[in-house]
């Protein structure tokens, strides 16, 4: 605990001038802005954006948060192809996989995508994840002097000296203790220990087990706890585990300002923790989300093996696009982790943040910890 | 994918000190790629492979990344179709043969 007797003041809050040791990750710019202006740290998930769109979004957010810190999260994809076009990768998808998706489309009467709908979303969404694109995104981050680069799905060792030379701090997301140790050796500035309860691309170990091991393994590098955190009690617990704050995502999908589709939000709010599932059919990498009919079909024994990135994302793109265009509820995807089981109402992002802070302080008081 | 492979040329090498070492790789889905012998092979990203390093490596991409060849002898994901796998350095963990402990 810090000497100032406020247990919510940690190295994270002190270094970045935050009110609360809470990082909010998400793909909605409005929520990121709200979090930054409410005393937290917003991290914008930008892996799917073109470098031009990324730069525009950075400018848009800066106009609304001023000099407050924020982060950009991209995938550091050593394990994706170096380069290539949509057509290159489509040609590599086996026939049996195309046939499988065609059968789903026919059996469940899923129409073709409607190009007149979601035009902007369609324009901005690009499933072709390559080393080449990630490199260009990194160049944008550095040239626009983004304060924090968050590196998911790979060791950012190669970019750390360049980032530090330009004043950019690097947060590394890991799922295993040995990955944390490797990133600590590479001198990342913060490690985000991402447990399997989390939504999106999470690791294989539970948060409560992972965090203390990582804290011990990488000290004095500060660690954030991620995965399943959606309350003030969990924030307090994460600090007690030795972390300097929490990295959160699912909770903000229930923020009033979020642009998540109403069907996805409704599904999340209705979901129990056990209604989420961690699998790979979405884009070839493990991620957690609310179970839909598509999960059942990919779990079935007649399903083909999931393809690697970026082919899997390209394979399911048209059908999932049609599901969104025509709002087919049975298949409609709802991202998020086990924390959905704790969330049952939509609130302003600021209110969520303040509720957590109050509950965390009450928890510390209940434990007799001076506040 | 010949155009793509040509654009990001690989530079191969041999690290004899690593040949025969036990190693694990936190990999993932594998993707088809051209191996040093010109045949198609597979790379991991987030699945776990265990085996022994051959010492062969290549550098590719920007920064570039270094990939080591692992002969998959002990553990591989279900349905993995090959006997070797390329592992990116950042996800590769090498073990001491005598103590069985991970080398730092």
Note whether A79 contacts B26, CB cutoff 8 Å. no
B95 reaches A (C-beta below 8 A) = no
Partner-chain contact B45 A80, CB within 8 Å:
yes
pLDDT at B78: 66
The pLDDT of residue B8: 63
pLDDT at B64 over 80: no
pLDDT for residue A163: 93
For chain A, say whether B80 makes contact (Cβ under 8 Å): no
* Phi, psi for A108 (deg, rounded to 5): -105, 10
- Quick check: ipTM above 0.90? no
Most B CBs within 10 Å, among A75, A77, A79, to test the B interface? A79
What local confidence, expressed as pLDDT, does residue B39 receive? 45
Is residue B62 less than 8 Å (CB to CB) from chain A? yes
- CA distance readout (Å), A275 to A271, A294, A295: 6, 14, 11
Q: What is the pLDDT of residue B2?
A: 43
Any CB–CB contact under 8 A between B11 and chain A? no
Return phi, psi of residue A155, to 5°: -80, 120
Q: Do A81 and B79 touch (CB under 8 A)?
A: no
pLDDT at B36 over 90: no
pLDDT at A181: 94
A326, A264, A333: which is closest to A298 by C-alpha?
A333
Q: How far, CA to CA in Å, does B36 sit from each of A72, A208, A310, B5, B66?
A: 36, 43, 23, 12, 14
Does residue B93 sit at the A interface (CB-CB below 8 Å)?
Answer: yes
Hey, which residues does B23 pair with through a beta bridge? Answer: B51, B94
Question: Is B28 touching A (CB cutoff 8 A)?
Answer: yes
Does any domain span residue A319?
no
Domain presence at residue A214: yes
pLDDT > 90? residue B19: yes
Could you tell me the CATH number of the domain that includes residue A200?
3.20.20.70
Q: Quick one: pLDDT at residue A283?
A: 79
CA distance A150 to A329: 33
CB spacing of A83 vs B60 below 8 angstroms: no
- The alpha carbon dihedral of B42, B48, B53, B57 has a sign of positive
Judged by a CB distance cut-off of 8 A, whether residue B53 touches chain A is: no
Residues of A in contact with B45 (CB under 8 A): 77-80, 153, 285, 308-309
Confidence at residue A328, expressed as pLDDT on a 0 to 100 scale: 96
Residue A308 at interface with chain B, using a CB cutoff of 8 Å: yes
Tell me which residue has tokens 């073990």.
B95
Q: Could you tell me which chain A residue has the CA closest to the CA of B24?
A: A178
- B31/A311 touch (CB, cutoff 8 Å), yes or no: yes
User: Cβ–Cβ contacts within 10 Å for residue A103, how many?
Assistant: 12
Position B104 scores a pLDDT of 64
Closest approach of chain B CAs to the CA of A84, in angstroms? 6
| CB pair distance less than 8 Å for B4 and A158 | no
Per-residue confidence (pLDDT) for residue A280, from 0 to 100: 85
Report chain B residues whose CB lies below 8 A from the CB of A80: 31, 45
Which residue in B65, B79, B93 is closest to A78 by CB distance? B65
Residue A110 lies in a domain: no
CA distance A40 to A353: 8
pLDDT of residue B103: 79
Structure tokens given for A54: 């990324």
In a domain, A32, yes or no: yes
The whole-angstrom separation of Cα A276 and Cα A210 is: 20
Residue B101: which pLDDT band, with cuts at 50, 70 and 90?
A: confident
Evaluate the omega torsion of the peptide bond into residue B64 and state whether it is cis, within 30 degrees of 0. Answer: yes
* pLDDT (tens place) for every residue of chain A, 371 residues total: 444 689 999 999 999 999 999 999 999 999 999 999 999 999 999 988 889 999 999 999 999 999 999 999 987 656 566 666 777 778 878 899 999 999 999 999 999 998 888 777 766 766 566 677 778 898 999 999 999 999 887 788 888 999 999 999 999 999 999 999 999 999 999 999 999 999 887 788 999 999 999 999 999 999 999 999 999 999 999 999 999 999 999 999 999 999 999 999 999 999 999 999 998 898 777 889 999 999 999 999 999 988 876 778 889 989 999 999 999 999 999 999 999 999 999 999 999 999 999 999 999 999 998 76
- Determine the distance in angstroms separating the CA of A53 from the nearest CA of chain B, rounded to an integer: 22
Cβ separation of A78 and B29 shorter than 8 Å?
no
The reply to whether A179 touches chain B by the CB within 8 Å rule is yes
pLDDT at A91: 81
pLDDT higher than threshold 70 for residue B26: yes
**Is the distance from CB of B95 to CB of B103 less than 8 angstroms?**
yes
Q: In chain A, whose CA is at the least distance from the CA of B3? A: A84
Coil, helix or strand at residue B65? strand
Q: Which chain A residues have a beta carbon less than 8 Å from that of B44?
A: 79
Q: Give the phi and the psi of residue B50 in degrees, each rounded to 5.
A: -130, 140
Domain of A136 in residue numbering reads as 11-80+128-258+342-366
Whether residue A103 is contained in a domain is answered as: no
Say if the Cβ atoms of A131 and B8 lie within 8 Å.
Answer: yes
In a domain, A178, yes or no: yes
Verify whether the Cβ–Cβ distance B4 to A83 is below 8 Å: yes
User: For residue A86, is it within any domain?
Assistant: no
Domain layout of chain B by residue ranges: 2-95
Please report whether residue A244 resides in a domain: yes
Interface contact A84-B63, CB threshold 8 A: no
Domains identified in chain A, total number: 1
d(CA B86, CA B61) in angstroms, rounded, equals: 15
Of B32, B33, B46, the CB nearest to A285: B46
Q: pLDDT digits over A176-220, tens only?
A: 999 999 999 999 999 999 999 998 877 889 999 999 999 999 999
């Amino acid at each position: 605990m810090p000497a100032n007797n406020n247990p919510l003041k940690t190295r994270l809050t002190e270094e970045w001038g935050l009110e609360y040791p809470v990082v909010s990750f998400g793909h909605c710019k409005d929520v990121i802005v709200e979090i930054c202006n409410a005393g937290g740290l917003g991290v914008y998930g930008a892996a799917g954006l073109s470098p031009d769109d990324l730069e525009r979004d950075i400018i848009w957010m800066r106009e609304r948060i001023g000099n407050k810190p924020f982060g950009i999260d991209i995938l550091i994809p050593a394990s994706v192809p170096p380069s290539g076009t949509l057509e290159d990768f489509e040609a590599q998808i086996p026939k049996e996989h195309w046939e499988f998706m065609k059968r789903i489309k026919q059996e469940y009467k899923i129409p073709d995508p409607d190009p007149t709908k979601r035009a902007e979303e369609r324009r901005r969404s690009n499933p072709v994840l390559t080393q080449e694109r990630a490199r260009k995104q990194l160049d944008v981050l550095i040239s626009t002097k983004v304060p924090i680069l968050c590196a998911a799905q790979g060791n950012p060792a190669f970019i750390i000296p360049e980032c530090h030379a330009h004043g950019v701090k690097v947060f590394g997301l890991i799922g295993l203790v040995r990955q944390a140790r490797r990133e600590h050796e590479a001198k990342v500035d913060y490690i985000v220990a991402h447990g399997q309860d989390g939504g999106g691309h999470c690791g294989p170990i539970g948060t409560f087990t992972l965090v203390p091991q990582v804290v011990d393994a990488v000290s004095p590098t500060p660690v954030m706890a991620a995965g399943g955190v959606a309350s003030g009690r969990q924030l307090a617990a994460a600090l007690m585990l030795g972390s300097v704050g929490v990295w959160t995502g699912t909770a903000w999908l229930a923020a009033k300002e979020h642009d998540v589709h109403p069907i996805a939000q409704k599904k999340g709010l209705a979901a129990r923790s056990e209604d989420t599932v961690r699998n790979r059919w979405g884009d070839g990498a493990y991620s957690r989300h609310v179970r839909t009919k598509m999960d059942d079909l990919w779990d079935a024994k007649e399903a083909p093996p999931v393809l690697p990135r970026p082919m899997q994302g390209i394979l399911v793109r048209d059908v999932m696009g049609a599901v969104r265009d025509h709002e087919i509820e049975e298949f409609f995807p709802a991202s998020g982790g086990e924390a959905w089981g704790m969330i049952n109402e939509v609130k302003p992002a600021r209110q969520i943040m303040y509720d957590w802070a109050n509950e965390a302080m009450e928890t510390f008081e209940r434990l007799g910890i001076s506040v | 994918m010949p155009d793509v492979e040509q654009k990001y040329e690989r530079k191969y090498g041999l690290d004899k000190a690593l040949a025969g070492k036990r190693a694990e790789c936190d990999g993932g889905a594998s993707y088809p790629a051209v191996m040093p012998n010109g045949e198609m092979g597979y790379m991991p990203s987030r699945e776990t492979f265990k085996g022994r390093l051959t010492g062969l490596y290549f550098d590719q991409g920007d920064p570039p990344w270094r990939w080591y060849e692992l002969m998959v002898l002990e553990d591989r994901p279900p349905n993995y179709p090959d006997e070797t796998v390329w592992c990116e350095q950042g996800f590769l963990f090498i073990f001491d043969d005598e103590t069985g402990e991970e080398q730092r």
